[in-house]
Structure 1
Amino acid sequence: MKKWFALAFVLLSGSPLFAQVYGNFHVGGTTDTFYPVVFNDVLWGTSVATELQLGRADTHTDASSSIWAGTLIARFRFHVTNWGNGSSFCNAEIFQTVGTGVGFTNVFIANWLDISSVDGAKRFMVYLRGGTTYFYTAPAGAAAPVLYDGVANALPLTLSNGTAFNVLTAPSATVNQSGLTSSGTAYYLGGGTNYFTGAIGIGTTAPGPYKLAVEGTIGARKIKVTTVNPWADFVFDDDYPLPDLTELKTYIQVNKHLPGIPTTADVQKEGIDVGDMNAKLLQKVEELTLLLIQQNDRIKALEQPLKKIKLH
């Protein structure tokens, strides 16, 4: 039985599903521009996704031994729609080190696109940095990449329906330049911990200084802020100075906001810290409560003499 399995593996290894072709190509133009390079979905007819690998392990390729031009290891697993058949997708993994030499500080991949919906050519386009040599691995039978860099072929790349693709001058913000970019959605069904070291952006590719940045509305059953220091109970300390109402009135008339509470301009510029703002609002509520108690005590003190006068 083992011999039959071994024989089957050897036979399959020679099939298009296992065999591969290797090659390299040089995208002309300049390193500050990205040019369309077309690959074909050679396994489309077998109903198997095509896997294309692009790389350049030697950082000195296209440069001298003293200049770092950058390295790239990338993999695209894709299936094109081909006249609109459907099930098209692309999952891309990109790992790279950009160069440090003059003219080589740009990333390598700007975007990619299935351009097969208007014809039967089964074409998949990747925008690659110009002035750069790439090495590729593709399934056996894959045609050589077709470059539209103004050198190998003229720009723009024009489809049969007239749609034209010219160069790009900047990478797409939705391309992950150091990891996985998926055209699908993700479901994680494991009950264990999922760990993320960096920042997470939902609806934004620029989370800034925040660990989680959301461009839009957050819906939640419950939000718990675990640390707010100091909490506002210091208002009840015996030596806490309550605000003078006359002074407070003047402050509000001049500044149009309560003391210790950010202005409209501050909030528009910096936003608010939910935990900190709740503590500040609680501080104002506790101050107001103590002031009301004081007022109530004064009213009662005035009511006593009035009651005695009424009795007489």
Structure 2
Amino acid sequence: MLNQINTRNSMAQTKIYEYSAFGILIQSEILLPALSKKTTDSDQNAIYIKIGKVPENIKNEAPSLNKNICFSKTEFLFQVPEKIKIYVSNGSLVILETFNSRLDDVLLYFYSNGLAAALYQRGVIPFHVSGVFLNKNKVLLIAAKSGTGKSTTAINLQEKGYPVFTDDTAILHKKDNKVFATASYPMIRLWQKSFENQNLFDHNQKQRLLQDVEFNKYGFSFHNDFSQKEHEVLGIVFIEIGEEDIEINTLSKIEVTQQLINNTYRKYLVKGMQMEETQFRLISEIANTIPAYMAKRPINKETFGTFAGQIVSEICKKLV
């Protein structure tokens, strides 16, 4: 209750910027350039973002992942020493406390960790996926471990005529015997090597992320092409590093289930917040509804263009 009163008082005295992420209204005291401006008139169930002093401890804490992360079902406390602390409460309040860093240099920690914690506190499980549009209203999702080539593959698919839907995260749900996805926010993140393997963005569009930490990782905005609506998912392709040749195979429902478990975003929160049943039910619904594929690209070979082309011929064109 105290947090709600303080939030209302703060809103009355401070300029508020309104955005949307994962289809949720974000009301913020600070500029959040990676997010999309809101398109809804409702301010119910918003997530409120402010700068301030975060609590030193939380109540009823679950076993900590490490000394920099502790959380319960209703509170989340995260820190990068000497850079930023993030506190999330009840899926509705996020407090950012910075130290020796410029806010713009550490906002990615909020976009990734803070927003994910707020989703979990709301009972929503995000997935570690990128995605492209197969047509105006339907999408193909792409999932993989970090560094495997998920975003680069999505960029290469864009170059072949499939516009970006989301990068890195999305939330999924089943409705009317179909699976739907809602994108996170309009920013693509690429390592320098991935940037060199694409032709969609040029050097002038680079936005440096995590200064002095991930100095060769950059963000690229696509606000004009971003959709805040949910879209039907026609399929999902998981990417792994293979041997000498490109391989694409259809996965069984059991294999899809395991892959979705592995690609749950910030999945340590599932167990810590006792959401295993929610996760299993959602993943089972997805695995039983849409086709899924394993695409393996050769190790130590620059085959992204050919790899994306094979995904187009063996997956994209068959789904629409």
TM range (shorter): under 0.3
Larger helix proportion of the pair: 2
TM-score w.r.t. length of structure 2: 0.24
Q: TM-score, normalised by structure 1?
A: 0.24
Higher strand share: 2
Q: Which structure has the larger Rg?
A: 1
